[in-house]
Structure 1
């Protein structure tokens, strides 16, 4: 496997902490009964602005695979990812069910386990999505990439992705599919779990990763447009929300696709211009999977504790307490478990051996000379 490109560290850093901060805002909204007010507008805007987190992780996952294994996957590719990604998904899914079942009626734990592992009813659903793309990757390379022009593949992927999400974003399941049992649950699962809901990220990331050097040159060429596109897509996202066209706040919105890709490209450009990636960015990046898996569990504890002091704390105090406590606690637990030989099967590996690619090292040297 090739060394990791240095830009990936910044993307993981921002995606990871963006998700944690966004969940901190969600926690504050759960604690406080905030009616229609400027504060609600601000908090909702922050949630939407950080909605790129999960799809950005999908982009990162395929980018790394396409860059590292442009022609074929190594022999133990699936074995390693099953042990260090899918097994933690199972463990955290069961642990999440246990925490959510405390104080509930008998049978709720078993029900929640089934929902978590088979319906993706917790934050770990993202792992099921990337595993779909793990299996689609070799088929995509063999039957699509080798036979069709790049621009046709990308356009087709976007049309499928837009069309799929538009169906769920703009149709009311209670109006059109009321005859289905558990219509709301089925609607939610189909909205987020099948790979067509995320196809644009996968295809775009594949071509960017496989053609890494060309990708960086294009970012350099259109560097000024990157900032404009980011501001435009963010403004469009907020406008769609507050004009009432789409009011649900989640990453499966049709307007999040272009916004997430604008964030990814902008971050790539910024990272490519850094002479040296800050050590704290690399540190958080290496612990990002553990932080992603564990922080919602710590948020359950934070919510239980802070609810008793809600009157003494401001809304943003709750957000920042949640952000720092869940992040630090997740890192600490991930670090401790990785000291145990079976710990990586519970929260994933900490890749302390990741190194910059040779091309990036040369870029750094050229900047310094």
Structure 2
């Protein structure tokens, strides 16, 4: 299959990226307004993960080519390793207060295998890669989409609802699983995977169907948002996280709405394209930028300060991504700049007379 420019995904990826950066810039949660705002912004992580499978299913709907995992290990796996190490060093020597090698080793194990860094979403994406390889070979071509979606939805919702609604046993390991680890297994994301696969595989047809039912989708966004806010404010599901079972419905509604809106645009603004291209690196590096700002500046906890932090975090992260990608080794550290509307990557690496540009 030839490459197809999924232009609507540039807007979707940008909104998801901006939501995450703004979420981490808002450090005010002492009112229902800021708590609700942070809850809605949390949709960015599942949306970002969902996008990865849409792109994958559109490019490889029935098979995966030779070297599929190797290529992704180079440009996604290596940056994941780098940032797990960076955040583990940060947690050990600047935040935890116990600068010991044994603590660093523990933080590294937790970072790599238990998802205890802000880069954990990469581990989820890699699970999607493995799921895609398995499902296109053994599942998608053997069972009807309706049953795959129903089963995936029931499993995903039930899994998250269990951890959202059932209190953990009074044991440190159980409390840790309930608080942190339950987000790591693909079971907590499998419905996103199934929906994204069918959307990516039949992108044009499903986009047309979304436009046909746009009024229902527009209505579902505030409806699912109100339900989610009610469950949060009434302490039925008090956790402020993207790993809530009600977040599934809000995320999918919002993603569908953004795709419809993007399809109506006559063109994609260059700034949106640029943020989308740098989104992977922005996602990885923006917590570091925020921590540096927090170290040198004391800002009051209000919306204006949050907006200032957001602008600095976004611009600083984009600048770092662009600068690192000017070096041949930079994309291995921070990830590659994504393709543009023309399906080409910008060639902005530093070269000399003996060095040929890398495509």
**TM-score by structure 2 length?**
0.90
Instruction: Summarize the alignment of residues 204-215 of structure 1 with structure 2, pairs less than 5 Å apart.
Output: 204-215=195-206
1:13 corresponds to 2:14: yes
Give the conservation status (yes or no) of the 8 Å contact 1:28–1:318: no
C-alpha deviation, 1:352, in angstroms: 4.3
Structure number having the greater helix percentage: 1
Give the alignment partner of residue 232 of structure 1, picking from 220, 223, 238: 223
Counterpart of 1:347 (choices 324, 334, 337) is 334
Q: How far apart are the structure 1 equivalents of 2:256 and 2:177?
A: 34
1:274 aligns with 2:272: no
Listed one character per residue, the Cα deviations across residues 141-168 of structure 1 (whole Å, up to 9, x for unaligned) are: 2222111111111011100001111111
Give RMSD over aligned pairs.
1.7
TM-score by length of 1: 0.88
- 2:352 corresponds to which residue? none
Counterpart for residue 157 of structure 1: 152
Q: Which runs of 5+ in 1 are unaligned?
A: 35-39, 358-369
* Alpha-carbon distance between aligned partners in 2 of 1:164 and 1:102, rounded to the nearest angstrom: 36
Unaligned runs of 5+ in 2: 345-359
Equivalent residue number for residue 310 of structure 2: 323
Displacement, 1:174?
3.1
Q: What is the CA distance between 1:117 and its match in structure 2?
A: 1.3
2:133 and 2:206 mapped to 1: Cα distance? Answer: 22
* Mapping of residues 110-189 of structure 1, within 5 Å: 110-175=105-170, 178=171, 181-189=172-180
2: CA distance, partners of 1:21 / 1:324: 9
Which of 232, 235, 243 is the equivalent residue of 1:244? 235
SS in 2 for 1:73: coil
Say if 1:19 and 1:50, in contact at 8 Å, map to a contact too: yes
Residue 262 (structure 2) pairs with residue 261 (structure 1): no
The answer to whether the aligner puts 1:201 opposite 2:201 as a matched pair is no
Deviation at 1:111, TM superposition (A): 2.4
Quick one: distance in 2 between partners of 1:302 and 1:42? 25
> Following TM superposition, by how much is the alpha carbon of 1:122 offset from its aligned partner in structure 2, in angstroms?
1.1
Aligned residues: 339
3-state secondary structure, aligned to 1:102? helix
Q: Which string of whole-angstrom CA distances, capped at 9 and with x for unpartnered residues, describes residues 63-114 of structure 1?
A: 0011111221122221111011111011011111222223522233332222
Is the 2:63–2:137 contact (alpha carbons within 8 Å) kept by the matching residues of 1? no
What CA distance in whole angstroms lies between the structure 1 residues aligned with 2:199 and 2:252?
Answer: 11
